[in-house]
Amino acid sequence: MLWIKSLHIVFVTSWFAGLFYLPRIFVNLAMVPAGSDAERDRLLLMAHKLMRFTTVLAIPAVAFGLVLWLYYGIGLGPGSGWMHAKLLIVGLVLGYHHACGRLLRKFVAGTVTRGHVWFRWFNEVPVVLLLVAVVLVVVKPV
How do the domains of the chain map onto residue ranges?
A: 2-139
Helix pair 125-139, 2-30: axis angle to 10 deg: 160
Mean pLDDT of 53-66: 98
8 A C-beta contact, residue 25 and residue 50? yes
Mean pLDDT of 65-69: 96
8 A C-beta contact, residue 124 and residue 64? no
Please say if the pLDDT value at position 142 is more than 90. no
pLDDT value at residue 75: 87
pLDDT value at residue 14: 97
Helix pair 81-109, 37-66: axis angle to 10 deg: 160
pTM, whole model, 2 decimals?
0.94
What's the angle, vertex CA 86, arms to CA 83 and CA 92, rounded to 5? Answer: 150
Can you tell me the distance from the alpha carbon of 110 to that of 61, in angstroms, rounded to the nearest whole number? 32
Which residues 6+ apart lie within 8 Å of 133 measured at CB?
86, 89, 90, 93
Distance of CA 124 to the CA centre of its chain: 11
pLDDT value at residue 76: 87
Please say if the pLDDT value at position 57 is more than 90. yes
Type of residue found at 136: L
pLDDT value at residue 135: 97
Instruction: Give 103-139 pLDDT, tens digit per residue.
Output: 999 999 999 999 999 999 999 999 999 999 999 999 9
Instruction: Give 14-53 pLDDT, tens digit per residue.
Output: 999 999 999 999 999 999 999 999 999 999 999 999 999 9
